[in-house]
Amino acid sequence: MAYLEKKEAIILLEDGTIFHGKMVGPEGTTTGEICFNTGTTGYQEIFTDPSYYGQIMVTTNAHIGNYGTTDLDLESDSVKISGLVCKNFSGEFSRVLATDSLYDFLQKANLIVISDVDTRALVAHIREHGVQNAIVSSRVDQRDQLKKELKATPSMKGLELASKVSTKKSYTFGKEDATFKIAALDLGIKTNILRNLASRDVFIKVFPYNSTYEQMMEFNPDGFFISNGPGDPEPLSEAISLARKVLDNNHPLFGICLGHQVIALANGVDTYKMHNGHRGINHPVKNLITGKGEITSQNHGFAINKEQAEANQDIEITHTHLNDHTVAGMRIKGKPCFSVQYHPEAGPGPNDATYLFDEFIDTVKSTKKQAI
Ligand SMILES: NC(=O)CC[C@H](N)C(=O)O
């Protein structure tokens, strides 16, 4: 296989640190924000998750590729990360359900992949010094030029990326004769969210990121959903005003990750860029209502301002991240609305938090009953 050629590759970080590796596949160069995911499984879901658009992914699991790929594990229609950095890349795979090697899957997407990197040292460096931009390239002897290209890469802070991954046209998902209708704003929606809703008797219409309340109301939905997605939530002015209108009109509203941040902004709570963020499938969260713990799938580099959320009369914090006590979930008092910073749909990850989809359907049901 071609990937065994293994040409030299270099990773240049914004702070000047250099790491070395080997190209897996054709030579090339890529830039983006370098971040790491600690999941021990679920690489195909991660690589196709639109929330990772614009990011170079470092996988902490030492072996990548060994269980291949299958269409069942797609979280969107294409690879969304801008590069992959790993320790050991395997083009050979073994899994009954797998239909393709990860090598072929990523090559079809023209992704820049490098292996043989000291990922433990790289991850420790990012953890210590914070998430930052990087350039990954096979042009190992053109450091000055690479530095220039790295400088030209926009910072994730302030970057609007939802428009790059959102659907251009609205579409539907699920059975048309389902009991409930949900209008979903696509800021980079993961397919497993749609699967989770559809399996709860929901017919979903997915709308482009800049859709208006009026456009979404034409579907006559029983509730609204605002999805996960890439980039900084702050520039998403259309989504923020949509959330405000949905709240003002007392429709059921559920937000996940970027959607949660948009709902916070619609309530006057700021968001900020975290030092490193949370990306993995074993993040501990405490549900403050039930007192129970949940192990959750997470993928975010921004969070909502905790002091402002605590001081806000309209907000009740419902979930907290047990590692750093950041806000993991909230509800809007007196409104049929709640949101979480993490991923109850998993894909990949544990299913501890799927009860949130049930709670959303209960909210939709009781709001529908009141209206009759
Ligand atoms: N998964 C997401 O929706 C991520 C939200 C946002 N882009 C962040 O990094 O915080």
d(CA 339, CA 324) in angstroms, rounded, equals 19
Task: Give the residue, out of 265, 302, 339, 341, with the most ligand 1 atoms within 8 A of its beta carbon, to mutate for a pocket test.
Answer: 302
In terms of C-beta distances under 8 Å and separation of at least 24 residues, what long-range contacts does 125-128 make, across chains too? 125/13, 125/17, 126/34, 126/35, 126/36, 126/58, 126/276, 127/36, 127/276
In this prediction, residue 128 carries a pLDDT of 97
- Tell me how far the alpha carbon of residue 65 lies from the centroid of ligand 1, in angstroms: 25
* Ligand 1 within 6 A of CB of 301: yes
How close is the Cα of 51 to the center of ligand 1, in Å?
Answer: 6
From the CB of 349, is ligand 1 less than 6 Å away?
Answer: no
The reported pLDDT for the residue numbered 285 is 98
Dist. CA 336–CA 250, nearest whole Å: 7
CA distance 294 to 352: 6
Identify the CATH class of 162-371: alpha beta
Predicted confidence at residue 349, as pLDDT, reads: 96
| Assigned CATH for 2-151 | 3.50.30.20
34 lines ligand 1 (CB under 6 A): no
- Whether residue 126 contacts residue 59, with contact meaning beta carbons closer than 8 Å, is answered with no
Residue appearing with tokens 């990750």: 257
Ligand 1 touching residue 304 (CB < 6 A): no
**Cβ(339)–Cβ(329) under 8 Å?**
yes
∠297-298-302 over CA atoms, to 5°?
170
229 lines ligand 1 (CB under 6 A): yes
Q: Would you state the pLDDT for residue 41?
A: 96
Closest CA to 298 of 114, 33, 42, 121: 42
Cα–ligand 1 centroid distance for 300 (angstroms): 4
The model's pTM is 0.97
Check residue 5 and give its pLDDT: 62
Cβ proximity of 296 and 326 under 8 Å:
no
pLDDT at residue 4, as a whole number:
54
Q: Of all protein residues, whose CA lies closest to atom 8 belonging to ligand 1?
A: 300
**H or E stretch at 311:** helix 306-311
- The predicted structure's pLDDT at residue 372: 64
Taking alpha carbons only, the member of 100, 92, 112, 93 closest to residue 30 is 112
Known catalytic residues are 257, 343, 345
Is the Cβ atom of 51 under 6 angstroms away from ligand 1?
yes
Report how far apart, in Å, the C-alpha atoms of 259 and of each of 229, 303, 332 are: 8, 11, 14
Residue nearest to atom 4 of ligand 1 (CA): 300
Ligand 1 centroid – CA 140 distance (Å): 32
Task: Give pLDDT, residue 371.
Answer: 74
- 299 known ligand binder: yes
Q: Tell me, letter by letter, the H, E, C secondary structure of 204-266.
A: EEEECCCCCHHHHHCCCCCEEEECCCCECCCCCHHHHHHHHHHHHCCCCEEEECHHHHHHHHH
**Where in the chain are all domains bearing CATH 3.50.30.20?**
2-151
Question: Is there an atom of ligand 1 within 6 Å of 342 CB?
Answer: no
User: What pLDDT was estimated at residue 318?
Assistant: 99
Digit-by-digit pLDDT tens for the chain (372 residues) are 444 568 999 999 999 999 999 999 889 999 999 999 999 999 999 999 999 999 999 999 999 999 999 999 999 999 999 999 999 999 999 999 999 999 999 999 999 999 999 999 999 999 999 999 999 999 999 999 999 999 999 999 999 999 999 999 999 999 999 999 999 999 999 999 999 999 999 999 999 999 999 999 999 999 999 999 999 999 999 999 999 999 999 999 999 999 999 999 999 999 999 999 999 999 999 999 999 999 999 999 999 999 999 999 999 999 999 999 999 999 999 999 999 999 999 999 999 999 999 999 999 999 987 876
Distance 227 CA to ligand 1 centre (A): 10
* ipTM computed for the complex: 0.98
Rounded to an integer, what distance in angstroms lies between the CA atom of residue 75 and that of residue 363?
26
302 is in an annotated binding site: yes
Contact 87, 119 (CB under 8 A): yes
**19 Cβ partners below 8 Å, 6+ apart?**
10, 11, 13, 117, 118, 121, 122
| Domain boundaries for CATH 3.40.50.880 within the chain | 162-371
Position in ligand 1 atom list of the atom nearest CA 271: 10
